[in-house]
Amino acid sequence: MDINGGLPSIITEKDRKNIQNALREMSDSMTRIAAEKDHQKAIAEKMLDEVGVPKKDFNKLARIYHASSIMEEAARNEEFMEFAEAVMAPLERQIESS
């Protein structure tokens, strides 16, 4: 294997099978992504038809909603990690509150 980014000069049968498996896995992932994009388009189309929200505006709202959900989850995770650190800290490092 060329670590400088070039293609390998020799491919063994094991390498070939490994690459083929990775290609199938990557293709399956791309198929799922395409299906999700189609699903997202259908949701935006439904909101246009049922509520009159333009697709562009609905998609923008969805991105804001998603980002907000991610930020909330990150905050919950940070709070949990602080709790976990306190629980798992060695006894001499734990602070007792009265």
CB within 8 A of 54, min separation 6: which ones? 48
Q: Is residue 68 part of a domain?
A: yes
- Structurally, the chain folds into a number of domains equal to 1
Report pLDDT digits (tens) over 18-60.
999 999 999 999 999 999 999 999 999 999 999 999 999 999 9
Asked, for residue 31, whether it belongs to a domain, the answer is yes
Domain assignment present for 96 = no
Per the domain annotation, does 27 fall within a domain?
yes
* 25 lies in some domain: yes
Determine the structural domain holding residue 77 and report its residue range.
13-89
Calculate ∠ Cα 10-14-16, nearest 5°.
65
- In whole angstroms, what is the distance from residue 78 CA to residue 75 CA? 5
Residue 97 placed within a domain: no
Mean pLDDT confidence for 67-96: 83
pTM (2 decimals)? Answer: 0.64
Output Rg (C-alpha) for the chain, integer angstroms.
24
